[in-house]
Amino acid sequence: MPPQIFLASRSPRRRALLHQIGITCTPVEVDVDESVRPRETPADYVVRLALAKARAGTERRPAGNRMPVLAADTAVVKGGKILGKPVDRSQALAMLRLLSGNTHQVLTAVALAAEKTDSRLCASRVSMRRIDTAEAEAYWESGEPTDKAGGYAIQGAGAIFISHLQGSYSGVMGLPLFETAELLANVGIKVLAVASAIEE
């Protein structure tokens, strides 16, 4: 099947999630300043970045190509503070200590730039059991936390720390499929579930 959208992301997880619902995509690389603005809330931050990435993606399309561009941004939030990707071992262990035995929020915004640009916000709450120092160090050594917001991956070995999830599993992974399917359906792109319902 030929690509249906551009994906303004290098994330293999987002590509895999799109494939899961029958959507084929062509990745495009975008360069967006991800600095948090003064007094900007975490929700406003992820929505702004998702929209900015989608719009930047439209500038990377080949001349004359009007295929929609999908983008997303995820933030792990604890105590109102955004936890990004850890830059080193020390920061990753500090993040895991902060999340250990507590509940935090994961916000993922998804945006689609087509004839107009629209977005959705997905908010989830993730509870973690207590993580001892040896476990945190072993997890860092696995290499998994290095490019993950908050220093963990729900779809990987980090799942052993999660005691409860309220919200969207795919949203915590980085692309909320319910909201993504809504945006795509609004521009006439039928995802697997929508196509099946129509056929019935």
Please name the helix (run of DSSP H) or strand (run of DSSP E) that holds residue 117, with its range, or none.
strand 117-128
The whole-angstrom distance between residue 24's C-alpha and the CA centroid of its chain comes to 17
CATH code given to domain 5-199: 3.90.950.10
| pLDDT of 193 | 52
Residue of 31, 33, 44, 73 with catalytic role: 73
User: Looking at residue 190, what is its pLDDT?
Assistant: 84
- The full set of domain ranges for the chain reads 5-199
Whole-number pLDDT of residue 129: 98
| Alpha-carbon span 83 to 147, nearest angstrom | 12
Q: Any residues with CB less than 8 A from the CB of 154 and at least 6 apart, and which?
A: 126, 162, 165, 169, 172, 173
Which two structure tokens, joined as six digits, stand for 80? Answer: 């109102």
- What is the DSSP-derived secondary structure letter of residue 197? H
pTM for the model stands at 0.91
User: Could you list the mean pLDDT of each consecutive 10-residue stretch along the chain, which spans 200 residues?
Assistant: 90 94 94 94 98 97 94 96 94 97 98 97 98 97 93 96 98 97 94 52
Which H helix or E strand runs over 25?
Answer: strand 25-27
- Render 124-169 in DSSP notation, one character per residue: EEEEE----HHHHHHHHHTTGGGGSGGG--TTTGGGGGEEEEES-H
**Structure confidence at residue 126 (pLDDT):** 98
Q: What is the DSSP string of 30-80?
A: -----PPPTT--HHHHHHHHHHHHHHHHHTTSPTT----EEEEEEEEEETT
Local structure of 1: helix, strand or coil: coil
73 is catalytic: yes
